[in-house]
Structure 1
Amino acid sequence: MNRPAVFFDRDGVLNEDIGYLHERTKFRWTPGAREAVKAVNDVGYLAFVVTNQSGVARGLYEEADVRDLHAWMAEELAAVGAHVDAFEYCPHHPEATVEPYRRSCMCRKPGPGMITNLMNRFQVDPVRSFLIGDRLTDVEAATRAGIRGYLFEGPDLQQFIRSRLSRTG
């Protein structure tokens, strides 16, 4: 049975976008972010994070740093009874300084790859699913994956998500 899902962009949606974030000491949740993930969980939707992480391609940090930060985020969410079903990230960039990461790929938003991979892996219902991002490239990725995309400009992610969940029922 296909389940609906909410795909969250990370930087600028779940946390303040400070540029190339990879350290938990610099991480700041956006207002209502943890509660928004819990609201998604409470209505039975899958919760995913899809994030471009070109800092890896630029040599600013390692993939292990991204995974460690995501594990820490999962712990923080668990403390409020929330969870993310899967974290996906794209470490590639066409102008990378780290050679193995220099490429154009379909997983880097606005490409739909991260979203479609999760949709296939978890048998997601595209009709009731949507993405929340803070850039037009996020919304474009959602459209290309066959789901709705919403632009989040603040201030409170919990209020924003509740109004979107009530529309999709």
Structure 2
Amino acid sequence: MLKPAVLLDKDGTLLEDVPYNVDPASMRFAPGAADALRLFAAHGVTLVVVSNQGGVALGRFPHSALDTMQAHLRDMFASCGAVLAGAYWCPHHPHGHVAPYAGPCTCRKPAPGLLLRAAREHGLDLSASWFVGDILDDVEAGTRAGCRTVLIDNGHETEWRDGPLRRPTLCVHDMREAALAIVDSLQQQHSRAHASIEPARAAG
């Protein structure tokens, strides 16, 4: 049976926005993020991180640095009582110069490739899931994958290019506010599903 999940952008959403941030010493939770992870963990929400890491293609850091960064991210989740179910990185960049990561791809947000891969590998119901990010490219990726979306309006979106795929379901100030709204929605969704099962059982 497919399950809902919360998929999270990394830099500027889950962590403070440090350019090309793969150094564990520079990885710090963004405002409200630790509280959000505790809340998600308390409600058994499946958590997945999806992030563009074009610094690989641009030669800012080696692909191997993603493994070290991911291990530290798991520890950060654990410090909040949460489990990082999966992490998906796009190492490509259209203006990159490091082979084989230079050039276009189907996984760099706003493309939905990483979200679709996460759904396949973790049995996720994207139509019941949420994607949280701090720019409209995140919103578009989530919408294209079939998720509901949350924009953390913290000043990181500067272009505001509008379009039907770039309009979030919710707009909030930080991760804690996002988590409160998402958990409430997931609880309502669960209650509706449970209510629909009970009459079927009675009829049987």
Counterpart in the other structure of 1:104 = 104
How far does residue 18 in structure 1 lie from its aligned partner after superposition? Answer: 1.7
Q: Which runs of 4+ in 1 moved over 4 A?
A: none
- Name the TM-score, length of structure 2 as normaliser: 0.78
1:5-154 equivalences in 2 (<5 Å): 5-154=5-154
How far does residue 100 in structure 1 lie from its aligned partner after superposition? Answer: 1.2
How far does residue 32 in structure 1 lie from its aligned partner after superposition? Answer: 2.2
**Any stretches of 5+ residues in structure 2 without a counterpart?**
155-172, 188-204
Supply the AA of the counterpart residue of 1:47.
L
The answer to whether the 8 A contact 1:53-1:89 is kept is yes
**Any stretches of 5+ residues in structure 1 without a counterpart?**
none
Q: How far does the alpha carbon of each residue in 1:22-78 deviate from its partner, in whole angstroms, 9 at most, with x for none?
A: 111122211221231232232222100000000010001012212211111111221
Aligned length in residues? 169
Q: How far does the alpha carbon of each residue in 1:99-155 deviate from its partner, in whole angstroms, 9 at most, with x for none?
A: 211121111100001000011111112232010000100000011111111111255
Structure with bigger gyration radius: 2
- Inter-partner Cα distance in structure 2 for 1:127 and 1:99: 35
The answer to whether the 8 A contact 2:131-2:139 is kept is yes
Supply the AA of the counterpart residue of 2:60.
L
Matched, 1:159 2:151: no
- Inter-partner Cα distance in structure 2 for 1:68 and 1:126: 28
Larger relative contact order (Cα-Cα within 8 Å, sequence gap ≥ 6): 1
- Inter-partner Cα distance in structure 2 for 1:5 and 1:39: 14
Supply the AA of the counterpart residue of 2:178.
F
- Name the TM-score, length of structure 1 as normaliser: 0.93
- Inter-partner Cα distance in structure 2 for 1:22 and 1:100: 20
How far does residue 157 in structure 1 lie from its aligned partner after superposition? Answer: 1.3
The answer to whether the 8 A contact 2:37-2:80 is kept is no
Secondary structure, counterpart of 1:141 in structure 2: helix
